[in-house]
Amino acid sequence: MRASRGGLAVWAFVGALVVASSAAPAGAASNGCSEGAAGSPAYGVGISITPEFVGTDDVAIAAFPGELVDYDVTVFLRADPGGVIVCPIFGGTVTVTLPDGSGPFTIATGVALGIGQSVTFADVPGGRAYAVNEANAAPGSPRRVDATTTVVATSDGPDSGPDDNAQVTATAVAPTFLLAPSTLLTITPDRTTSAPGDAVTWTVVERNDTPAGYFPLPLAQPRVELSADGGATAFTTLTATTAGMTGDDGDGALDTGEAWSWTVTTNPTQDITITATGFGNGPRGRVFTFPGDPDERAIAALDVIGPSTAVGLSAAPTQVAVGGQTTWTITERNDGDVALTSPLVHLDADGGDDGDIATLSSGASGDADGDGVLDPGETWTWTLTTVITGDTTVTATGHGIDPLGRDITFPLDPEERAAATVQVPPPGILPATGAGTGTTTIALAAFMLIIAGAGLRRASRARPRPS
């Protein structure tokens, strides 16, 4: 045992209860009882119990599940003023019952105290430290585990009268409030899809959402680390001093119910996943973070899209007599990583982009799933036959709307423009074989026969005459 350390820890749940008293004649104080002017004996024995973390003198006002607690118990005899008689005690027995219901354990017998005296029993019950356990929580709120201690003693009451050697009892309860710190970290980009290099704002929120009924625990030095490699390396750290942070009441601690918020802007050029990991310091060197607190990690992904298309244009034949026909083949290929809605191709003869020849949208082959969307990997194909009246250059300009609402076309996508030319030979020069109609082929044959006849005549004139 050890002497009382002066003041006693007093909480709403800790105290002493005197449960025995009886009437006695005033003035009977031959055994040393104190006597007021008038009144009855007040058996002033009291008891208090203080939870402490094992191996320390730190009072276990609140504890985490699993932490070990033992108790200091003090028995005292108070001299109450105001018309009462307080008498010494002897033969006292002190017991402790732990929050898990084990006990009662006897920690002292034969306790004797005079008026104003006290005695403390430290670190009891010896060798039976209690591991804080949520399952042992007392009914009601706030959530706590209660240990109970009791002293039963004999009061050396007035020598004459029925209260001499009466039994007196005092009981005290020691609560240890349960700590259940909980934080919730979130990270949210202002969009889920962006173009390369676009500014993206990420909102990071760290909230202390400890449930109601549990001991409020502020987390000291809270911070959030942001990483682009799954949490291995932080590219930025957010703290109470980060510019623009909101939510702190000014004490630099993440108090129960507080939500701290930061914004971070990046300009990603490729798909990115950002991992946010929160940290907060609790009592006794505890650091709350992932994975011990799973909600202290949050992940958000951004799809940096790469829309790309390529339009193709060819003509067959490429030389045609005036009034002949040629067939144009137009292709639109999605070689990017996102689907394009409302795809179309403008065919123009004036170098513009208004479809003065045709606007091709429906009727293409190659729409494998028939959804009218130019999906990645698809190639749509159209054919169009026109009459040629002169040298003609046709421009094809492709269009398609990406998930950001942008029209993917020339010049944003240089491959979304192509050109092809059909020529009409000048008078007297016929198109190549196979161009135009069958009439052109016959004319070419007649022309070749004329050239052959002229050659024969020149050969005949050059023949030598006989002598």
Has residue 19 got a pLDDT over 50? no
Q: What is the pLDDT of residue 107?
A: 96
User: DSSP secondary-structure letter at 459?
Assistant: H
Task: Give the residue from 88, 60, 76, 54 showing the smallest Cα distance to 8.
Answer: 76
Q: What is the pLDDT of residue 431?
A: 64
Arch. (CATH architecture) of 309-422: Sandwich (2.60)
Has residue 68 got a pLDDT over 90? yes
Radius of gyration of the chain (CA): 49
Q: What is the pLDDT of residue 160?
A: 58
- The band of 307, judged by pLDDT with boundaries at 50, 70 and 90, is very high
Has residue 25 got a pLDDT over 60? no
Q: What is the pLDDT of residue 237?
A: 98
- The band of 157, judged by pLDDT with boundaries at 50, 70 and 90, is low
Has residue 175 got a pLDDT over 60? yes
Has residue 151 got a pLDDT over 80? yes
Q: Residue 354: CB partners within 8 Å, gap ≥ 6?
A: 346, 348
Gap between the Cα atoms of 332 and 342, Å rounded: 12
Gap between the Cα atoms of 282 and 301, Å rounded: 31
CB contact at 8 A, 306 and 268:
no
Gap between the Cα atoms of 56 and 35, Å rounded: 41
Residue identified by tokens 């609790």 is 282
Q: Which of 153-157, 198-202, 310-314, 372-376 has the lowest mean pLDDT?
A: 153-157
Has residue 27 got a pLDDT over 90? no
Gap between the Cα atoms of 97 and 452, Å rounded: 129
* Residue 302 DSSP SS3: strand
Mean pLDDT score, 123-146: 95
Residue 142: cis peptide before it, omega within 30 degrees of 0: yes
Q: What is the pLDDT of residue 82?
A: 52
Q: Which of 18-32, 67-81, 248-262, 300-314 has the lowest mean pLDDT?
A: 18-32
Q: Percent of the chain having pLDDT more than 90?
A: 72
Q: What is the pLDDT of residue 162?
A: 59
pLDDT tens for each residue of 320-334: 999 999 999 999 999
Distances (CA, A) of 234 to 111, 187, 381: 62, 15, 49
**Cβ neighbour number for residue 409 with a 10 Å cutoff:** 20
Mean pLDDT score, 89-102: 96
Q: Percent of the chain having pLDDT more than 70?
A: 79
Has residue 313 got a pLDDT over 90? yes
Has residue 85 got a pLDDT over 80? no
- The band of 454, judged by pLDDT with boundaries at 50, 70 and 90, is very low
Q: What is the pLDDT of residue 324?
A: 95
Has residue 297 got a pLDDT over 50? yes
The domain locations on the chain are 45-178, 183-304, 309-422
Q: What is the pLDDT of residue 159?
A: 55
Q: Do domains 45-178 and 183-304 have the same CATH topology?
A: yes
Residues in the chain: 467
Q: What is the pLDDT of residue 87?
A: 78
Gap between the Cα atoms of 131 and 54, Å rounded: 10
Q: What is the pLDDT of residue 392?
A: 95
Mean pLDDT score, 160-168: 70
Tell me the pLDDT of the chain averaged across its residues. 84
**Please, which residues bridge with residue 1 across strands?**
none
Binning the chain into helix, strand and coil, the percentages to the nearest 5 are 10, 45, 50
Burial 331-340 (b: 16+ CB within 10 A, else e): bbbbebebbb
pLDDT tens for each residue of 201-234: 999 999 999 999 999 999 999 999 999 999 999 9
Q: How far is CA 39 from the centre of its chain?
A: 68
Mean pLDDT score, 183-192: 97
**Cβ neighbour number for residue 264 with a 10 Å cutoff:** 20
- The band of 34, judged by pLDDT with boundaries at 50, 70 and 90, is low
Q: What is the pLDDT of residue 127?
A: 86
The answer as to CATH 3.40.50.300 being correct for domain 183-304 is no
Q: Which of 50-64, 163-177, 394-408, 438-452 has the lowest mean pLDDT?
A: 438-452
Mean pLDDT score, 16-29: 35
pLDDT tens for each residue of 344-386: 999 999 999 999 999 999 889 999 899 999 999 999 999 999 9
Mean pLDDT score, 290-304: 96
The answer as to CATH 2.60.40 being correct for domain 45-178 is yes
Cα dihedral 374→376→379→380 (10° resolution): 0
Q: What is the pLDDT of residue 88?
A: 85
Has residue 455 got a pLDDT over 70? no
Q: Which pair of tokens denotes residue 257? A: 């119910």
Gap between the Cα atoms of 158 and 436, Å rounded: 140
pLDDT tens for each residue of 425-444: 887 666 654 444 433 333 33
